[in-house]
Amino acid sequence: MNEKEVISIKQRFGIIGNSSTLNHAISVALQVAPTDMTVLITGESGSGKESFSKIIHQLSHRKHGQFIAVNCGAIPEGTIDSELFGHEKGSFTGATEARKGYFEVTNGGTIFLDEIGEMPLGTQARLLRVLEYGEFIKVGSSKVQKTDVRVVAATNVDLQEKVNSGKFREDLYYRLNTVPIYVPPLRERGEDIQLLFRKFATDFSEKYRVKPISLTAEAQETLVRFPFPGNIRQLKNLVEQISVLEMDREIDNQKLVKYLPTPNRNVPVLFEKAAADEGISERDLLYKVLFDLKKDVSDLKKLVYNGTVPETTPDTADNLPQLLEDQINQEIPEPNRETLVIESDSEQAKTYELEKVEDISHETEEDESLSIEKKEKELIIKALKKNNNKRKYAAQDLGISERTLYRKIKQYEIEE
């Protein structure tokens, strides 16, 4: 396929760009168009896949037949069979009359199935029968009908991955993928971004009757470096916004950046620089956060057992973490009494003051746990004695449910 033919196709179908990957995709479309082979167009959303389906149809012997574009992802699963293959009157609730499907209407033409990866498995089996034998059956009918339709499919997902996960039929995948065409995303097309920007700027200047916008050299570099996850659609919306909102028609880098969305961050901002400097992964950062959190909880437990928290003022508030650390490292006298919070099912936990049984400031975490259980058992025994072993009232005094109290009695083997 020579270069002149590719240029002619670009002019005819309004395709802007000179990147090698784009030219290769156009060349493949030109070669396959005269045949009746099934074509699978792959590429990201907004990259212009539908334009290639129109090229294939218009350059084929079916160009005088009907062309229908169907978005498989936009049709509910319960009605897609009816939309594609038609239905008979009374075949389901609401089917007040018979209806022709797209495969019957486009007989002799081309049907473009966009987002083919979203098609339900049951519908995939029906589509495979059309591709293999050129026949289908309407919903609610037993009559086999013939159709002569060329199928051009497109997807923005990895169909091979869907096949591996059991969400797409393998036989249909290979039947559709007879001739693959890859449409490159905008970020892979280099200088095409500037060409498209100027084209859209001219279009919107005519539409809104204003002078077309232009970019400074620095702004052009920023535009080319931007990833454009929304591809051509996103670039077109960007140019329209700037054309309407900016009074100055020369756009510098500072103005352009205002209209470019900030890329999504996958890690906390505070750790972003540290990750870049140290070359550590997101998982490592999360582990670090969890270990730091565990240390903070342990430090707070020490403060609670020591019975004191450093006072802060507006002047010392910013240094609170350091004050806490200093407080922990100090030898703080044990108070004579301790406040204990008992597990509660109500909104507010009840607290009880206990006489100190023993010094726990230097115990291990296991000893601390045993000490708490011992005191909890003592409180339950006291509550039961106070209420003559009536669990309902004892539970109310403790601030827990009767069911929780029963479980605690069993746990601590308390004899009533």
Predicted pLDDT at 354: 44
Amino acid 311: pLDDT: 52
Helical ranges in 99-154 per DSSP H? 102-105, 121-133
| Tens of pLDDT, residues 58-110 | 999 999 999 999 999 999 888 899 999 999 888 888 888 889 999 999 999 99
pLDDT at 82: 92
Q: What is the pLDDT of residues 7-56, one digit of tens each?
A: 999 999 999 999 999 999 999 999 999 999 999 999 999 899 999 999 99
What is the tens place of the pLDDT at every residue in 278-315?
A: 444 555 566 566 667 766 777 666 665 555 545 545 45
Do residues 132 and 175 make contact, with C-beta atoms less than 8 angstroms apart?
yes
Tell me the C-alpha distance between 132 and 172, whole Å. 10
Spatial CA neighbour of 25 closest among 12, 11, 39: 39
Q: Is the Cβ–Cβ distance between 151 and 35 less than 8 Å? A: no
Please name which of 98, 104, 169 lies closest in space to residue 139, comparing C-alpha atoms: 98
Question: Is residue 393 scored above 90 in pLDDT?
Answer: no
**What DSSP element (H or E) covers 354?**
strand 351-355
User: How many CA atoms lie less than 13 Å away from 36 in the CB half-sphere?
Assistant: 10
Q: Which tokens go with 300? A: 């707070």
Tell me the mean pLDDT in the region 386-406. 82
Query: Looking at the predicted structure, is the pLDDT value of residue 2 above 50?
Result: yes
Q: In sequence order, which residues have a C-beta less than 8 Å from that of residue 366 and are 6 or more positions away?
A: none
pLDDT above 70 covers what percent of the chain? 74
Q: Which fold has domain 188-259?
A: Helicase, Ruva Protein; domain 3 (1.10.8)
Residue 69: φ, ψ to 5°: -105, 125
Contact 219, 249 (CB under 8 A): no
pTM of the model: 0.61
Please measure the distance between the N-terminal and C-terminal CA atoms of the chain and give it in whole angstroms.
Answer: 95
Considering the chain, what percentage of its residues have pLDDT values greater than 90?
53
User: 334 pLDDT exceeds 50?
Assistant: no
Domains of the chain by residue range: 3-184, 188-259, 267-332, 334-416
Write out pLDDT tens, residues 155-202.
999 999 999 999 999 999 999 999 999 999 999 998 999 999 999 999
Sequential DSSP letters for 12-67: HHT-----HHHHHHHHHHHHHTTS---EEEE--TTS-HHHHHHHHHHTSTTTTS-E
Output the pLDDT for position 83.
93
Class for the domain spanning 334-416 = mainly alpha
pLDDT reported for residue 327: 55
Q: What is the pLDDT of residue 406?
A: 81
Nearest of 201, 173, 233, 191 to residue 50 by alpha carbon: 233
Measured from the Cβ of residue 25, the count of other Cβ atoms closer than 10 Å reads 26
Read off the pLDDT band of 362 (50, 70, 90): very low
* Assigned architecture for domain 3-184: 3-Layer(aba) Sandwich (3.40)
